[in-house]
Structure 1
Amino acid sequence: MIRGIYIVANDRVIENAIALLNSIRLYDKDVQVYLIPFNDNYHQVADKLATLHNVKIFPDLELIEKFTNRIGEIFDRDFLALPNKMRKLVAWFGPLDEFIYIDTDIVVFEKIADNLNKLAEVDFFCCDYHHANDKLRNIFSPFVKEQNIFTDAQLEDVFNSGFWASKKGTITEQQMDEALRECANHREYFDFSEGVTDQPILNYLILKLIAKRGNLVKIPGGGPGSWANSRNFQQEEYVLYDKGKRLQYLHWAGTKMKIGSPYWKLWEHYRYLHEGKFALISKLNRRLFSLMNFRT
């Protein structure tokens, strides 16, 4: 059995991708990580992550291209804000038998692939409090509950699409194609009001097609949170804790990454983990010197 991690990235998110992989490799030197290209502009990030952390390109680029074209055929142009975000769904048809998908605006605080042991009990799991805090927001419209499209119990399993895990083949290509066409025919099911793309569709697929689901925070006493806009986490060294419980990861979902963002210095630590303070200062000085010379 082959286990590992999938990410989706292009050159635009190279800084976030480096920070994520630095954190993954800090705790796990060996787990296989595959990059699913977001678009054709991915060669810089692919080369960097391959050099630093032995990240491999998803081996079937033709499959990704076919899947992207299929998404364009199924959905109207104005249905999905960023259709290429749907590329993460090829994870069910890739080389990994068991996998975790992780967004690049995340850093982890543990050997994250060990959570794949949960797949001995379920066929899919997530790890967040979307069900408790945001309820159906950014996933489903009130119509879904009013028309009993899903039961109340099923709707308790909604999740953020930035961190989740499953098994290859749990969803077949035919099942996915049929479910995606159902989504395309029922725009009224979804809440796209804040610009999300893949999250509502992915939630529909999981609730519709995978019965054995889990959430790592649904344990006695509750698990730690993970959202960077939660300002109540405590920091020790470069790890965060939620009421004494070590976070598994931190996710800057919906937050523009920049100086002043929540936990920015923590992110900087992981981004420059192997470069050191003086290397960072030197890099900034060289950039400033270059700009000054250019202006003269």
Structure 2
Amino acid sequence: MQRGIYITANDRVIEQTIALLNSIRFYDADTPIILIPYDDNYHHVAERLSNSYGVTVYDDLPFIERLSQRLQQIFGDRFFARPNQFRKQACWFGPFEEFLYIDTDVVVFERIIDNLDYLKQYDFICSDYQHAGGIKNVFTTQIIEDRVFSVETCHDIFNGGFWGARKQLISESDLYETFEECSSHPEYFDFSEKTSDQPIINYMILKRIARRFNIVRRSGGAPGNWAGSPHFIRHGHGLVDPNLNQPLQYLHWAGVRLEPGCPYWDVWEHYRYLHEPKPMQLPPPPAAAHPWQQIINKIKSSKF
């Protein structure tokens, strides 16, 4: 297959996965999508995605297990907060010649696969402003001080929740060699906020893929996409970035808990319940009475 989308999910994130798939299919009914199981508890979400959206499960599950085991051998089982995030690296070896990877805490506002047109000129694409915050959540300054990367190269860091590339630019040996290099220099990476794969994968891409492009650097710029940005303006069921007067391509709740009251919750709800009635929200339970109030209420209700 020429082009497609990979996601990772398990049964625990079925709600946000449905929202993502509803948004993708709203703009694009045909692009094939493959689920990379986040862990062994994926059968319920896989069935729902297959029946409703034509999503298939990654066919080389032994490779995913081999990747997980090798990672544990190199780093140990307590190094990363969420080591299973590395399973997304199976993207390099699946059936798509060109692919997008998208996290499930995302909804899209366009035919998102068309961003792979940039691969006519580049080998790797992303679309975010991770670099605008410096190297936080990716590298420490040590990686620059030791001249592993220049300051200019570090301007190409990216968020690991949305990216695209060509198949097999990274080999299985490239993955393991990168893990080995990184395990030898943990001082280069910023895990202070419990990121897992993002620092390591940034290291690999910056080291091994020269022709990379961040879409926000296109002519005329590109809109933001982080749900933690408060300035987006609602337009229909999408959002507009007023700084550029451009509609968002997608919205990503990275580091933001997806729950009622979170930023742009109404946008997420729209796509989650695009094809089914939204359940009625029950009122919150009454606050528990103070122990003294409980005693007073009991006396009042007693019959003398």
The CA deviation at 1:76 is 2.4
Q: Give the Å deviation of 1:146.
A: 1.2
Measured after TM superposition, the shift of residue 80 of structure 1 is: 1.1
CA distance in 2, matches of 1:98, 1:229: 30
Query: What residue number does 2:22 align with?
Result: 22
Distance 1:142 1:78 in 2: 24
The answer to whether the aligner puts 1:224 opposite 2:223 as a matched pair is: yes
CA separation in 1, counterparts of 2:151 and 2:125? 18
Asked if 1:74 is matched to 2:74, the reply is: yes
TM superposition shift of 1:81: 1.1
Alpha-carbon distance between aligned partners in 2 of 1:135 and 1:17, rounded to the nearest angstrom: 30
Query: After the TM superposition, which segments of 4 or more aligned residues of structure 1 sit over 3 Å from their partners?
Result: none
Task: Say if 2:223 is the partner of 1:246.
Answer: no
Comparing 1-10 with 104-113, greater Cα deviation is found at 1-10
Q: Give the letter aligned to residue 140 of structure 1.
A: F
- In structure 2, distance between residues paired with 1:105 and 1:276: 21
Counterpart residue number, 1:288: none
- Which amino acid is 2:91 matched to? A
Structure 1 letter corresponding to 2:145: E
Q: Structure 2 CA distance, aligned partners of 1:264 and 1:229?
A: 12
Superposition pairs of residues 153-168 of structure 1, within 5 angstroms:
153-168=152-167
Letter in 2 for 1:127: S
Q: Which residue of 2 aligns with 1:294?
A: none
- Tell me by how many angstroms 1:120 deviates: 0.9
**What RMSD in Å do the two structures reach over aligned CA positions?**
1.3
Aligned to 1:289: none
For 1:47, the aligned partner's letter is E
User: How far off its partner does 1:82 sit?
Assistant: 1.0
Q: Which residues of 2 match residues 55-204 of structure 1 at below 5 A?
A: 55-132=55-132, 134-204=133-203
Aligned to 1:207: 206
Q: Structure 1: how far apart are the matches of 2:195 and 2:71?
A: 16
- Please name the residue that 1:261 is paired with: 262
Which amino acid is 1:68 matched to? S
| Aligned-partner Cα distance in 1 for 2:193–2:34 | 29
Q: Which residue of 2 aligns with 1:49?
A: 49
Letter of the 1:239 counterpart: G
Between stretches 153-162 and 71-80, larger displacement belongs to: 71-80
- C-alpha distance in structure 2 between counterparts of 1:46 and 1:98, whole Å: 23
Count of residue pairs the alignment pairs up: 281
Partner amino acid, structure 1, of 2:207 = K
For 2:252, give the aligned amino acid: H
**2:10 aligned with 1:10, yes or no?**
yes
Q: Which amino acid aligns with 1:269?
A: H
Deviations 1:180-219 (A, max 9, x none): 1101111011000001001001100100110100001002
Q: Output the CA distance in 1 between the equivalents of 2:105 and 2:190.
A: 22
1:107: how far off? Answer: 0.1
Secondary structure at 1:217 match in 2: helix
Aligned equivalents of 1:221, 1:149: Cα separation in 2: 32
Q: Name the CA distance, whole Å, in 2 between partners of 1:175 and 1:253.
A: 27
1:291 equivalent in structure 2: none
- Give me the whole-angstrom Cα distance separating, in 2, the residues matched to 1:78 and 1:61: 23
Q: d(CA) in 2 for partners of 1:222 and 1:99?
A: 23
SS at match of 1:171: coil
Which residues of structure 2 form unaligned runs of 5+? 283-304
Give SS of 2:217's match.
coil
In structure 1, list runs of 5 or more residues that go unmatched. 286-296
Q: What is the percentage of aligned positions where both structures have the same residue?
A: 52
CA distance in structure 1 between the aligned counterparts of 2:144 and 2:220, rounded to whole angstroms: 28
Structure label with greater radius of gyration: 2
Cα distance between partner residues in 2 of 1:230 and 1:221: 20
